[in-house]
């Protein structure tokens, strides 16, 4: 169950396709309607644990009832056993038999005749050089394909009553962009990331305080600059109180304003044009606006044409400190202290 659960990366980058993984417990000799019609069934080192009577039931259930498109069966090759040092008898105490290549081939061809399949023989674990033909593979494999492939007609088991012999132990739906909650979460994350990225590029070029500025360039997904993007106007008027009135021009050329701490308006049209993933996730500009309407993490303008982001004035003291760090003084100071400790240690000697 732990191994079947999604990884963190599956949540960070959800697939476009839906995936549900279910873990059942049951016997291969029992029929269960939920296991019918799958593309692939694998039986890896299993059949040799069955009694001869159960091998017949295995064939009937897997090939006659489940009727998958492809079945892969692997089982030990008893002719390879002399090459395994110290082996006496079967390879495992629970094995009921271990087939030779001829015996495995005979069973496989009978299955194909009875249930309308064809088989290709292969294996894993080669014999030493020059002995492959004599001993074959350590484990022999039969790859069965239903005649006609996925669209072939196989009527075995059709019309049978529903049976539920297996117990469902675990079921998990992997994160998918077809799920509205997951789609909204990923879209909001992308919108906020690119809005902050664009805001940083615009505010780095901000003119003197108190002026009105038109942003005519925006940074694209690959870091290049696109001129002529429909970026809105934003202006500020500092009041005597701690709040500020912020105004901007929307895509229709109308003025809007709100009383907030200083903010930057990032038009949705700019996000749409600059961010391919936002386009892919939302499908259209109108869908993008609709998906963001009731999202508490995103603040939109009054006409819902732009994302509003808080803008914090750079702190001069922080800038001075950053300059000091960038100058290498901190590293030099650390080195000088280290040198002093080295000299003191030598003096003690």
Lowest mean pLDDT across 58-72, 152-166, 301-315: 152-166
Q: Which pLDDT does position 301 carry in this prediction?
A: 87
Q: Which pLDDT does position 291 carry in this prediction?
A: 87
Q: Which pLDDT does position 94 carry in this prediction?
A: 97
Residues 12/190, Cβ–Cβ less than 8 Å: no
**Of 240 and 193, more confident:** 193
Task: Give the domain-ending residue among 165, 192, 222.
Answer: 165
34: closest CA among 168, 158, 186?
Answer: 168
| 103 in any annotated domain | yes
| CA 143, chain centre distance (Å) | 29
Q: Same domain, yes or no, for 116 and 185?
A: no
Average pLDDT over residues 305-326: 66
75: closest CA among 94, 101, 93?
Answer: 101
Q: Which pLDDT does position 68 carry in this prediction?
A: 97
Mean per-residue pLDDT over the chain, rounded: 78
Share of the chain above pLDDT 70, in %: 69
Residues 23/172, Cβ–Cβ less than 8 Å: no
Q: Where are the alpha helices (DSSP H) in 80-146?
A: 101-115, 132-135
Q: Same domain, yes or no, for 64 and 146?
A: yes
Q: Which pLDDT does position 222 carry in this prediction?
A: 33
Q: Which pLDDT does position 332 carry in this prediction?
A: 40
| 231 in any annotated domain | no
Task: Give the domain-ending residue among 137, 165, 193.
Answer: 165
- Total domains in the fold of the chain: 2
| 40 in any annotated domain | yes
Q: Same domain, yes or no, for 84 and 193?
A: no
Q: Which pLDDT does position 198 carry in this prediction?
A: 87
Average pLDDT over residues 231-254: 44
Q: Same domain, yes or no, for 94 and 194?
A: no
- Taking only the tens place, the pLDDT of each residue in 131-184 is 999 999 999 999 999 998 776 655 444 555 789 999 999 999 999 888 888 888
Q: Same domain, yes or no, for 142 and 77?
A: yes
- The CATH code of the domain that includes 98 is 3.40.50.150
* Confidence grade of residue 204 (pLDDT, cut at 50, 70, 90): low
CA distance 272 to 192: 13
| 108 in any annotated domain | yes
Q: Same domain, yes or no, for 186 and 119?
A: no
Q: Which pLDDT does position 235 carry in this prediction?
A: 36
Q: Which residues contact 35 (CB under 8 A, 6 or more apart)?
A: 24, 66, 166
Q: Same domain, yes or no, for 42 and 116?
A: yes
Q: Same domain, yes or no, for 140 and 193?
A: no
Task: Give the domain-ending residue among 111, 139, 165.
Answer: 165
Q: Which pLDDT does position 252 carry in this prediction?
A: 55
Q: Which domain holds residue 131?
A: 27-154+161-165
Q: Same domain, yes or no, for 140 and 80?
A: yes
Widest CA span of the chain, in angstroms? Answer: 95
Q: Same domain, yes or no, for 144 and 265?
A: no
What three-state secondary structure class fits 140?
strand
Q: Which residues contact 286 (CB under 8 A, 6 or more apart)?
A: none
| 328 in any annotated domain | no
| 147 in any annotated domain | yes
Average pLDDT over residues 261-284: 86
**Beta-bridge partners for 121:** 142
| 280 in any annotated domain | yes
Average pLDDT over residues 10-24: 89
Structure tokens at 189: 């994350």
Q: What stretches of the chain adopt beta strand conformation (E)?
A: 20-25, 40-44, 70-76, 117-124, 139-146, 167-173, 213-214, 217-219, 225-227, 233-238, 244-249, 255-260, 263-267, 306-310
Q: Same domain, yes or no, for 184 and 306?
A: yes
Q: Which pLDDT does position 214 carry in this prediction?
A: 35
| 4 in any annotated domain | no
CA distance 275 to 220: 7
CA distance 142 to 108: 7
CA distance 321 to 316: 9
Q: Which residues contact 312 (CB under 8 A, 6 or more apart)?
A: 261, 262
Q: Same domain, yes or no, for 189 and 288?
A: yes
């Amino acid at each position: 169950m732990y191994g079947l659960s999604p990884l963190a990366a599956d949540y960070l980058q959800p697939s476009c396709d839906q995936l549900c993984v279910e873990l059942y417990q049951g016997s291969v000799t029992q029929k269960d309607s939920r296991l019918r019609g799958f593309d692939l069934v694998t039986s890896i080192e299993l059949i040799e644990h069955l009694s001869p009577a159960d091998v017949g039931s295995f064939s009937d259930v897997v090939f006659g009832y489940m009727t998958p498109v492809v079945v892969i069966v692997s089982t030990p090759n008893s002719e390879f056993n002399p090459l395994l040092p110290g082996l006496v008898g079967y390879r495992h105490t629970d094995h009921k038999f271990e087939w030779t290549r001829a015996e495995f081939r005979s069973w496989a061809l009978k299955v194909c005749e009875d249930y309308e399949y064809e088989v290709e023989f292969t294996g894993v674990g080669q014999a030493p050089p020059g002995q492959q033909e004599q001993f074959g593979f350590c484990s022999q494999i039969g790859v069965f394909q239903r005649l006609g492939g996925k669209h072939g007609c196989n009527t075995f088991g059709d019309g049978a009553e529903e049976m539920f012999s297996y117990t469902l132990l675990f079921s998990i739906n992997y994160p998918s962009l077809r799920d509205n909650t997951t789609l909204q979460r990923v879209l909001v994350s992308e919108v906020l990331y690119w809005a902050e990225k664009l805001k940083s590029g615009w505010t780095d070029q901000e003119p003197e305080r108190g002026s009105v500025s038109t942003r005519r360039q925006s940074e694209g997904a690959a870091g290049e600059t696109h001129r002529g993007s429909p970026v809105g106007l934003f202006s500020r008027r500092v009041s005597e109180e701690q709040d500020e009135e912020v105004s901007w021009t929307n895509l229709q050329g109308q003025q809007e304003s709100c009383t907030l701490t200083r903010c930057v308006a990032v038009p949705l049209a700019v996000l749409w044009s600059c961010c391919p993933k936002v386009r892919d996730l939302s499908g259209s500009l109108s869908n993008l606006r609709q998906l963001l309407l009731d999202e508490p993490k995103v603040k939109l303008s009054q006409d819902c044409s732009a994302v509003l982001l808080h803008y914090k004035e750079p702190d001069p003291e922080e800038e001075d400190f950053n300059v000091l760090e960038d100058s290498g003084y901190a590293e030099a100071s650390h080195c000088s202290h280290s040198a002093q400790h080295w000299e003191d240690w030598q003096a003690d000697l």
